[in-house]
Amino acid sequence: MFEETMTIFTNELNELLKSEQTHLRKAEIGIRLCNDVLSKLQSNVEKEDFEDVLTEIDFFKNIKPYPMSYLIYFTEVRTCELTKPKAGTSYKIRFLEKEVRKVNKFFSSNNDFVHYMEQDHNYLDHQFFTRNSRNDFPFTPTINYYQYPEFSTSHDMLWAKVQALYRFIHYLRESLQNLQPGSAALFSDKKHKLVVWSGSKTALVELIYALYSSGDLNHGTADLQTIASSFEDFFNIKLDNIYKTYSEIKARKKNRTKYLADLMHQLEHKMVRDDEV
């Protein structure tokens, strides 16, 4: 019963994320967008509730946290944009580095829960994602993002914040990189060896969209721009307009996923050769 609402929200969100608006403007529009869809979801739940416990778990684990995580993300970005120093590169860098430390502290404090979710466990889902356990809230946000007792479980807000901070750390990384090239080292224990993408940019965009569609990155929370930026960093390449490239891929007359098909063919061919050895 939430499919239409979530489809409309996802389309509007993607349009916003790929727009040329400033971070602050995107955040302000995004907050309104997320609040609107959360109100609609809350209204649906109040009117119809859930057919069974599994449906309730799915909603509070997979559906509500999606717009909720973006509401938290946009709120954090807006706060950061409004409070960071207006002048002085060194002051801005120190401010952003402090934000990074706060994110790291959050993940450290919630390490057990993050591990549970990242390992796709479900043995505690009845406790975490049903309202039967809503009186046991382990996490109180410093900002009242959007929380109502009949529309919350003990851990859905925490799970939404985990997903939000995955995105927020990318925003901080990008902001620091713009101020201080080379600051990406703050986000990893060690630097990867230099790897250069030597295929076509169109092929890489095809691969990026395939991974985005699969939902296998950050539990499906990574947006296209985040994935593309990560690939740019890792493969030392600059992708121009990935949305335009994707449109060109879709417009192919036949074999629209020809790079992925070629990857499959090459891997099968290697397996055959290995079997013959």
Domain boundaries, the chain: 3-182, 192-277
With 50 as the cut, is the pLDDT of residue 189 above it? no
Burial classification of residue 12, based on how many CB atoms lie within 10 Å of its CB (0-12 exposed, 13-18 middle, 19 or more buried) = middle
Q: CA nearest 143: which of 13, 31, 38?
A: 31
pLDDT at 142: 45
CA-CA distances (angstroms) from residue 276 to 191, 262, 273? 37, 21, 5
pLDDT in tens, 66-86: 999 999 999 999 999 999 988
**Which amino acid is residue 44, in one-letter code?**
N
Burial of 206 (0-12, 13-18, 19+ CB in 10 A): buried
Hey, CA dihedral for 78, 226, 33, 22, is it positive or negative? positive
User: Quick check: 208 and 217 in contact, CB under 8 A?
Assistant: no
| Lowest mean per-residue pLDDT among 117-131, 140-154, 257-271 | 140-154
Question: What are 4's two structure tokens?
Answer: 């239409």
Instruction: Give residue-wise pLDDT tens across range 129-179.
Output: 988 865 555 554 445 555 566 788 888 999 999 989 988 988 998 888 888
Measured at the alpha carbon of residue 98, what is the angle toward residues 95 and 99, in degrees to the nearest 5? 90
In this structure, the chain runs to a length of 277
Condensed to tens digits (0 to 9), the pLDDT of residues 11-66 reads: 899 899 888 899 999 999 999 999 999 999 999 888 888 888 999 999 999 899 99
Regarding predicted confidence, which is higher, 244 or 195?
244
